[in-house]
Amino acid sequence: MKELQNEIIDYAIDLFKDYPHLITQDFIKKLTKSTRLLHHSYLKGAIKQAYFLAQKSKINQDLITVVMNIYNKKRLLHEDSFFLLHCFEVALRSTLAIGIYNNLGEQWYLNGNFPKTLNKHKDKGLNTWELFDNFSFGDLIYILDKHINIFENTFKSKKYDKNELLPAYSHIALINKIDQIRKARNYIYHNRPTKIKFKKDLAILLLRMGYNLTKALASKKTLYTHDE
C-alpha cells in the first residue's frame, strides 16, 4: 500500500529529475519527517520555489535547507495574515456591539433583525459583549447588512488618514468586501493558503473604524523581540 507522505516525496523527485545530485538520501529522510509536521500545500509550494531556484543555478546549500527556508517565509506570511484578520474581526465585533447597543438600547436583542444564533444565547443572562462573542463572522456580516443605517457613516463618510482621503464603501460594496475577508479568514484560520486579495481593504476598513494598524504591527514586532 502506498503511504500518503510518498505523494510529496515523489513530487519532489519528479520535479528535480534533471537535478538528481540534489535529491540525496538525507533530503528524502528529512523531507519525509517534514511531511508529518508541516502543511502539505505550503511544503509543496516551497519545493516548487526551490526548483525554480535550481533552474537559475541559485542553490548553494543542501536542498532541504533551501526548502525549509522558503517554507518558513511562507509560514511567517501566514502568521502575519492571521494577525491582521484577528485585529479586523475583533474590531468589527466590538464596533457592531457598541453601535447596536447605543442605538437600539439595552434590550436590542428583542429586535427581529439578528441571526438565529442569538436565539441560543439570549436567555442565558449574557451581557451584550458576551452575546456578540457568540456570533460567527458570517453573523457579524448579517448584522451589519441588516443595520447598515447605524454604521453607514463609519464606512462611507469622508474620512482622512494622514491627510489622505480614505476610500468610501457603499452598502453593497462594504458587505461584499467584508465577505471576501471572511472567505480569506476561513482559509487562513484552517492553515490553508489562499489567493484571495484582502489586506488592502482590511487595512482601510480598520482605519475607518479608528484602528491604528501601524501601531498594532509595531507592538507585535516589539513583543516578539522581547520574547526572544
Nearest residue to 92 (alpha-carbon basis) of 155, 36, 49? 155
User: Over the chain, what is the mean pLDDT?
Assistant: 91
Candidate from 100-104, 117-121, 178-182, 212-216 with smallest mean pLDDT: 212-216
Burial of 50 (0-12, 13-18, 19+ CB in 10 A): buried
pLDDT at 43: 96
- 197 within 8 A of 204, measured Cβ to Cβ: no
Per-residue pLDDT reduced to its tens digit, 107-119: 999 887 999 999 9
Structure letter (DSSP) for residue 165 = E
Contact 61, 24 (CB under 8 A): no
Cell of 87: 485585529
Angular region, 173: left φ>0, alpha ψ -120 to 50, beta rest: alpha
> Taking 80 as the threshold, does the pLDDT of residue 217 lie above it?
no
Q: Could you report the per-residue pLDDT of 154-172, keeping only the tens digit for each?
A: 999 999 998 999 999 999 9
The pLDDT value given to residue 226 = 35
pTM of the model: 0.82
Q: Which residue has the higher pLDDT, 197 or 214?
A: 197
pLDDT in tens, 176-199: 999 999 999 999 998 888 889 999
Mean pLDDT, range 67-96, rounded to an integer: 94
Which pLDDT score is estimated for 221? 57
- Give the phi and the psi of residue 104 in degrees, each rounded to 5: -105, -10
